Amino acid sequence: MKITGFRSLTTVHRWGRPVGDANGFVAQGVTEVPVLLVETDGGLTGVGLGAHGDAERVFPALDGQDPRAVTTLYDRMLAHTFKSGHAGTAFGTIGAFDTALWDLKAKMAGEPLWRTLGAADRFVPGYASGLDIALDEEELVALYSGWAARGFTGAKLKGGLDTERDIGRLRAVAEVLRPNTRSPALMLDVNESWGRHQAVRLLARIEDRVELAWIEEPVRRWDARGHRAVGRAGRTAVASGENLTGLEQFRPLLAADALQVVQAAGVWGITHFLRVATLAHGHDLPVSPVGYHANPLAHAAAAVPNHLVTEVQDIGTPAGLTVDQAIEDGGIVLGDAPGLGITVDESALAAPRQNAGWARPDGPHVRPRDAGLRLVPEPGPPGPAARVRAGTPSLGVPGPVHRPARSEHTERENTP
């Protein structure tokens, strides 16, 4: 079987609430979802998710190749971008192609990807993550009550702009999760919004009143000394890595003993995650995938020995996509459909509005000018009424719920 071409599609995810972080939020709660289809001469199509703006540039590395040689083709794509480098949009494109190739490889084997990768258990422990900075406390409690009903015992909140607000929200979510565990796992993600001069002081203030499992991206993603300083000053583990592209960007932080939880983003592909997990394992560190639509990294997470917990951002799926998995028992129950278990109904895809969601020039993917330079707390994001009056504010998080058929999963220990 040979790779013959690709097609690029786009749909949307309707979150049903504002979504975002300290850098901004999408008030209308609708974001675009790029879909990449890799075609073969054997009639099988691989599905990849994530932005892939450099697809025309990268595809010649795959054209005519056998899709089963996934890791070789991954390195071939990296080599194809050698002169100008593989960071940014190129790395995202490579990740989308890589995910589609793994989907193809498992489909050719006639089994789910978690089986192809060597996992013995279809259950992947998870934590709830609502991309929730724009929600007031009442909305926050309602959101995480749904996660608690599905058995979750851990949650990650977005914060970093107002420590007192963060403490109140963390405490509220802890109470929501307490029926499932006497000691909920709470994480706070500040998305690089603190400077090194702030991070130690603000984390200490939070630690005095709330027990955290980890603080995520307290300083800039490449700041090994800053991450190490935060980790040494506090009791809380430091987590980071979702925005690092390539092992060469992880090595300085691991060499500096700056991280206690190593993360990788779903949009960078499955091979990248597997290599990051191996690198972390060599340093006796756990790995935790960052969530993305359809949870593609869950298949790989099930197969690595140092998987800690996977971020789950929503129980719904983008328009036109169905996924053979269930969100229950505090995690992800992967199904038996071949490959990633993602089915694309092109007739049901929804076109995003122009300049919508993450693409907005003032949205959550644009770093504010004063990030890391604030001396006093910023006002919290507006509540529901103010959001309606304001339309789509400059601050820069999920649609109809899809519940796949439940698959039986094996007995397991150490669920979150």
Residues 403 and 314: their CA atoms lie apart, in Å, by 11
**What is the structure's pLDDT at 404?**
34
pLDDT of residue 408: 39
CATH architecture of 3-111: 2-Layer Sandwich (3.30)
pLDDT at residue number 374: 87
H or E element that contains 247? helix 247-255
Q: How far apart are CA 279 and CA 248, in angstroms?
A: 11
CA distance 33 to 320: 11
How far is residue 127's CA from residue 142's CA, in Å, rounded to a whole number?
A: 16
Rounded to an integer, what distance in angstroms lies between the CA atom of residue 331 and that of residue 174?
Answer: 18
Nearest CA-CA partner of 13 in 242, 270, 313: 313
State the pLDDT at residue 403: 32
Alpha carbon separation from 110 to 42, 104, 326, 406 (Å, rounded): 14, 10, 20, 20
Q: What pLDDT is recorded for position 379?
A: 72
**With a cut of 50, which residues of the chain have pLDDT below it?**
385, 388-416
* Chain position carrying tokens 């932005």: 51
- State pLDDT tens for residues 380-393: 666 654 554 343 33
Q: And the tokens for 368?
A: 């504010």
Summarised one tens digit per residue, pLDDT across range 347-363 is 999 988 766 666 666 66
What would the pLDDT profile of 224-244 be if each residue is shown by its tens digit? 999 999 999 999 999 999 999
Per-residue burial over 37-57, b if 16 or more Cβ lie within 10 Å, else e, is bbbbeeebbbbbbbbbebbee
Q: What does the pLDDT read at residue 392?
A: 37
- For 118-249, strand residue ranges (E) read 123-129, 154-158, 185-189, 214-216, 237-240
CATH architecture, domain 114-339: Alpha-Beta Barrel (3.20)
> Which pLDDT score, from 0 to 100, does residue 85 have?
84
Segments making up each domain of the chain, as ranges: 3-111, 114-339
- Predicted confidence at residue 353, as pLDDT, reads 78
| Residue 415: both structure tokens together | 């669920």
